[in-house]
Amino acid sequence: MQRFNFLDEKFADIQMLRYELKGWEQLSIKQKLYIYYLSKATLWGRDITTDQFGKYNLAIRKLLEHVYPLLKYADENQAHQILVYLKRVWFSNGIYHHYGCEKFVPAFSRKYFEQLVSKADPITFNVQDYQRYTGRLLEVMFNPDLLPMRVNKKPGDDLVLTSACNYYDGVTQQEAVDYYNKKRQDSESEQQPSWGLNTKLVKQGGMVTELPYTAGGLYGAWIQHIIYWLSKAEEVAENEQQKLIIKLLINYYQSGDLKLFDEYSIEWLKENAGSVDFINGFIEVYGDPLGIKGSWEGLVEFVDKEASKRTEKICSNAQWFEDHSPIDECFKKSEVTGVSARVINAAMLGGDEYPSSAIGINLPNADWIRKLYGSKSITIGNLTEAYNEASKGNGFYEEYTIDGDTLKLIMAYADMCDDLHTDLHECLGHGSGKLAPNVNPNALQAYGNTIEEARADLFALYYIADPKLIELGLLPSTEAFKASYYTYVMNGALTQCVRLTPGSNLEEAHMQNRALISNWALDMAKAANASAPAVEITERNGKHYVQVNDYHQLRDIFASELKQIQRIKSTGDYKSARNLVEKYGVHVDAALHAEVRQRYEHLNISPYKGFINPKMTPVFDANGDITDIKVDYTEGYEQQMLRYSREYSL
């Protein structure tokens, strides 16, 4: 049997991967059709995400795609740089780095690019439109000081006015905060919707108002296509609950009513009988500096039944984990309800989940729904497999691990610990704990996402070393957790900074979270025992490494961090959140950064990975009925992106 090829092309700082739909042939034709229709609904959201990430993104992408056919006639070096830039725009859904949020400036000549655009075919490109808009587009592309950050979180700045994301227009940060605070105050219900999740906040006639993302509002043409394919999916759903979920989602897209979205989320939680599931909508708020607006994302999935036995064990013991958490008793849930989790195979990625994707997801995000109805978690097994396969033999651990004994631990246990960490983070970490009465869920503002990710990571770090996991058969050895601890601190304190350009700060919430936990642990360890800290950064032969002197003391440190982070989250302690994130999660030591990057460059590894979707093609019989859905893994990155722009763009 031929081995599946996970690796595809490299460009800039990115390695493209493929993922395999394991078990596809065992699905029924009805299940395949359900996945196919849901996949079409997923791909129609691509332009929405791109536009949300910056008001000029779609126009710039289309301008670049228009020039693309001319590249084969262009100067070789200039053409190469234009193509790399276009690939980055595709990858990041716009002109801002998908992780760091900084604008990437073209390495090609502005003058040369203008010459190419001037040769555009007038049949496919309106020259008058070009003359009207191109000056502004080129200025946005080439001026590094104009709209430089998609999401700015710098203290003291007006985060709305200085962020290039397209969720606000003409309003200040204070106006946005006041607007949504008033909505919360005017509502008497404790079960408040996620105000602002599916709208753009603008100023019209001097008044602050919302423009909803609906079938008849903003992004209406795209949403109508999404609704069409959701309706097709409803016809072949596996059960009545899935049909109800789709009906509610369609009604929400038509009305924009966030109470319908909450109703949809609650019903979505209840559906665990089918093999196929999906995410489709305005969900995560990481792309908004205020943590209010949801970016559009889509994911279609089907269950990996064998691997899901692992998450089922975790979920069935959810109350035990909550009861034994090291947090204050007043912040624990007395009754953990509705926790479900699966290991799944991704079948189609879209929007904010494509091409770069999460490997685990826990939803819904509303705290009151989590409290009353629970949460649903997924670990995306085939994406994790692709990451693991891509990392084999690349020399990374050999370069950054302090000694041979530690390296043996990592080689033996790191992959299984990574999977288990993701399970604990998503299945239980995000759903653990509770807010104190009357605490605003958005009280931590720009620091909320980082604190929430730190809370879930610390939950996983604390429990991955617990004997309970041995008892449940989830880990084979009491030594296994050490691989997780070492690689986590190594990543957070050292190696993740290879993703940053020199002089940059950590901006993305997950990177800030890992740095916060690791650097804080280093400080706490030194304060507890300066001569022999539980964990430290040490130098050997001119290179810096993480050295763990006492893994069990390190677990105690993680427990202390989790206790503090949960208190901050539960009480809405903005000041403490800001102080912790700014002290430990933002700044990078310049000398250490330079050293780590230099060592990394010799390995020829791309620091970021993304995915090419499989191509699904219906097979018809003589009567025009679909008899199968064929999956093709041979479509190239450029082919796929250009096809998506033709088939799923307006």
pLDDT tens column, 422-431 = 999 999 999 9
pLDDT of residue 567: 98
Roughly how many angstroms between the first and final C-alpha of the chain, as a whole number? Answer: 42
Any idea what DSSP says for residue 4? P
Number of separate helices (H) and strands (E) present in the chain: 24, 15
pLDDT of residue 120: 72
User: Which burial class, exposed, middle or buried, applies to 162 when counting CB atoms under 10 A from its CB (0-12, 13-18, 19+)?
Assistant: middle
How many residues are there in the chain? 650
Q: Report the alpha-carbon distance of residue 17 to residue 10 in Å, rounded.
A: 9
Q: Report the alpha-carbon distance of residue 567 to residue 562 in Å, rounded.
A: 8
Q: Report the alpha-carbon distance of residue 597 to residue 198 in Å, rounded.
A: 39
Q: Give strand ranges (E) for 205-321.
A: 207-212, 276-282, 296-303
Q: Report the alpha-carbon distance of residue 497 to residue 505 in Å, rounded.
A: 9
Degrees (nearest 5) of the Cα angle 541, 496, 475?
Answer: 95
Q: Which helix (H) or strand (E) holds 376?
A: strand 375-380
Q: Which helix (H) or strand (E) holds 632?
A: strand 626-632
CB 346 within 8 Å of CB 380: yes
Residues 6 or more apart whose Cβ sits within 8 Å of residue 472: 313, 314, 317
Q: Report the alpha-carbon distance of residue 336 to residue 319 in Å, rounded.
A: 6
CATH 3.30.540.30 region(s) of the chain?
26-46+165-302
Distances from the Cα of 251 to the Cαs of 210, 214, 227, 263, 509, in angstroms? 19, 10, 9, 11, 32
Q: CB count, 10 Å around CB of 172?
A: 15
Burial 61-90 (b: 16+ CB within 10 A, else e): bbbbbbbbebbeebeeebbebbbbbbbbbb
Strands 615-620 and 626-632 come out as antiparallel
Any idea what DSSP says for residue 328? -
Any idea what DSSP says for residue 497? G
Q: What is the pTM of this model?
A: 0.90
pLDDT of residue 281: 98
Q: Report the alpha-carbon distance of residue 348 to residue 301 in Å, rounded.
A: 7
What is the three-state SS of 392-455? CCCCHHHHHCCCHHHHHHHHHHHHHHHHHHHHHHHHHHCCCCCCCCCCCCCCCHHHHHHHHHHH
User: Which burial class, exposed, middle or buried, applies to 28 when counting CB atoms under 10 A from its CB (0-12, 13-18, 19+)?
Assistant: exposed
Q: Is the dihedral of CA 243, 248, 252, 255 positive or negative?
A: positive
Q: Report the alpha-carbon distance of residue 606 to residue 495 in Å, rounded.
A: 13
Q: Report the alpha-carbon distance of residue 177 to residue 196 in Å, rounded.
A: 11
3-state secondary structure of 346: strand
How far does CA 179 lie from the centroid of its chain? 27
Cis peptide before 155 (omega within 30 of 0): no
Under-50 pLDDT residues of the chain: none
Could you give the maximum distance between any two Cα atoms of the chain, in Å? 79
Q: Which helix (H) or strand (E) holds 637?
A: helix 637-647
pLDDT of residue 125: 59
Architecture per CATH, 26-46+165-302: 2-Layer Sandwich (3.30)
